[in-house]
Structure 1
């Protein structure tokens, strides 16, 4: 709750009273200061270097200045900072010890820069950091242990970079990480062990990458994933037991726009809590036997060539008993082509197989 409290405090202080201009030793030139220097706002004021601010400063906003780099020791006198905003600053590199001394920092915003290199030790001293935003940069590689000082890291934003692979040890030390966003990169593989250090992830976003096979070994150590997005990756199949390690927690699964052709029958083994499943814009004809419909409240199926045979009968029965009757058009057999699954008569003769029948009758 402390993070939310600081965010609210920052919002409140920003609207209190007129901006105060001060001498360089107080409020930096060109900047606006609030709350007795607790908030220093230098947004889009033409700065070429990072200004020195008082130890009492809690929030420093440097957005939209052409800073280029972060020299070592740039924040040596800013040890009280809790929130640092450096979006759109044309930063190209994060050097070693760039944030040295910021042991109280909780929020670090580095989005929408040109960062292509993060040197070893760049995040030294950031032991309290909870939110790190690196989205919209040019990062293609992450060194082993680069996040290791961040023992309190909760959210990591790496969307829209140029990451090509994840290797073991990338997230070493960041064991409290819960939200990991890596959409819009160039990931072709997640190496086995690459997610072992963050087994408590609750949200994992991987859409808009280049994953052609489901990274089942890398995902097998994850335990409590609640939301997984894989849309717009060129995967053709989802294997057996794909989600088993976290299936009893997973509530939202996005597998849309992938060119997905089939699920192995056991793909959804262990998935017992899914509420929202998105399968639209693929090449699916059937759904796997392991998919249970009981908990589903939101299902998208449009733009798939569904085969309206008895294999889809469980879907039709769910539609008949649910308020959710998603758009799903039959592509085969020929007499059903063009009809909605929910309206097709193809399932009238399909028998319901009881669990008891599958197991055999005891005497």
Structure 2
């Protein structure tokens, strides 16, 4: 009996040793067939070998300056790959070749400046691509072509200077696009044609000096639109018309906007939140959809307190949030809160159209 116990113990130890050997050095693995391989901050300089059954590999905080072609070809079952903070400078053509089941790819917080045009070939299932906080200047034409299932593309905090036609060719299902805090000066007409179904579009913190009307007029269903911190002085007529019946959140703070054209808000019918803080606005156009808003941020603008802003005053009076907004003119109201100023006494209430009820 004792011999049998020793034999069983040795057998268990042998299996355990085999399992340990299968996990890369300095990493830890868990899940059946070592499905999750965690090599967080393990001092690696070469991509480790893992089994085809592996579903998740976490390589964060190691050192891989260049992702060469076929770097992951043995990882055929991989679904999620984490490579944040790995000092990556270059992603070569075919770097991820063979990862036909990959859904999540995290390349954030690296030094990527060079991307081969075919870097993402053979990634038919890739849905979530995170590349924020890198040094990417240009998105090569056709880069996203293999990514027919791409849903989220996070490219904030890079150095992208312009969007050109063909940038998003193939990514027809892209819904969330983040381009905040780049160096964009131009969105060329046609540059967003292939991604007309964007629901979230953030281009705040760039260097756009004129509103990109031609480029965004092909967007159809944007719900969350953020263009804050771009030096645009005038918002033109029909700025949001193509997606106005879907847009719920509009962020245009800290831009130096001096004027919304009279027809700027044509077609905007679903807006719930508007942030226009930190501009040079004295008035808003008559068709600004103030009454339907749930949130309105107005501070740090030189408002001219007159009946033209009566709709804003009515909104403030009916709001619990008591937003900050100060009159800059006329002189007798300068420095007063818009919610307290007497400038709106005598302003006419809008006439509501009532349906006539016929009596029989």
On whether the aligned pair clears a TM of 0.5, the verdict is: yes
User: C-alpha displacement at 1:307, in angstroms?
Assistant: 0.2
Asked if 2 retains the 8 angstrom alpha-carbon contact of 1:299 and 1:326, the reply is yes
1:54 maps to which of 36, 51, 54: 51
1:32 maps to which of 28, 44, 53: 28
- CA-to-partner distance for each residue in 1:197-230, whole Å, 9 max, x for gaps? 0000000011110011110000001000000111
Cα separation, 2, equivalents of 1:330 and 1:21: 75
**Structure 2 match to 1:227:** 224
**Structure 2 SS opposite 1:180:** strand
**Structure 2 match to 1:12:** none
> After the TM superposition, which residues 277-356 of structure 1 pair with which residues of structure 2 at under 5 Å, given as runs?
277-352=274-349, 354=351
- CA-to-partner distance for each residue in 1:174-201, whole Å, 9 max, x for gaps? 0110000000100001000001100000
**Structure 1 SS opposite 2:144:** coil
Cα separation, 1, equivalents of 2:302 and 2:194: 40
Asked if 1 retains the 8 angstrom alpha-carbon contact of 2:103 and 2:125, the reply is yes
Asked if 2 retains the 8 angstrom alpha-carbon contact of 1:184 and 1:206, the reply is yes
User: C-alpha displacement at 1:21, in angstroms?
Assistant: 7.8
User: C-alpha displacement at 1:355, in angstroms?
Assistant: 7.4
**Structure 2 match to 1:44:** 41
Asked if 1 retains the 8 angstrom alpha-carbon contact of 2:37 and 2:54, the reply is yes
Counterparts in 2 of 1:96 and 1:146: CA distance versus 1, 3 Å: same
**Structure 2 SS opposite 1:346:** helix
Count of aligned positions: 337
Asked if 2 retains the 8 angstrom alpha-carbon contact of 1:21 and 1:32, the reply is no
User: C-alpha displacement at 1:294, in angstroms?
Assistant: 2.8
Cα separation, 1, equivalents of 2:287 and 2:240: 11
Cα separation, 2, equivalents of 1:136 and 1:270: 35
**Structure 2 match to 1:202:** 199
**Structure 2 match to 1:361:** none
**Structure 2 match to 1:214:** 211
Whose radius of gyration is greater, 1 or 2? 2
Cα separation, 1, equivalents of 2:223 and 2:94: 35
**Structure 2 match to 1:238:** 235
**Structure 2 match to 1:11:** none
**Structure 2 SS opposite 1:316:** helix
> After the TM superposition, which residues 106-117 of structure 1 pair with which residues of structure 2 at under 5 Å, given as runs?
106-117=103-114
1:145 matched to 2:142: yes
Counterparts in 2 of 1:21 and 1:91: CA distance versus 1, 3 Å: farther
Cα separation, 2, equivalents of 1:118 and 1:129: 17
TM-score by length of 1: 0.90
Cα separation, 1, equivalents of 2:176 and 2:199: 6
Cα separation, 2, equivalents of 1:355 and 1:320: 19
1:260 maps to which of 244, 257, 262: 257
**Structure 1 SS opposite 2:46:** coil
1:159 matched to 2:144: no
Asked if 1 retains the 8 angstrom alpha-carbon contact of 2:291 and 2:311, the reply is no
User: C-alpha displacement at 1:155, in angstroms?
Assistant: 0.4
Unmatched tracts of structure 1, length 5 or more: 1-19, 357-363
Cα separation, 2, equivalents of 1:330 and 1:118: 51
User: C-alpha displacement at 1:309, in angstroms?
Assistant: 1.2
Counterparts in 2 of 1:317 and 1:68: CA distance versus 1, 3 Å: same
TM-score by length of 2: 0.91
> After the TM superposition, which residues 57-206 of structure 1 pair with which residues of structure 2 at under 5 Å, given as runs?
57-206=54-203
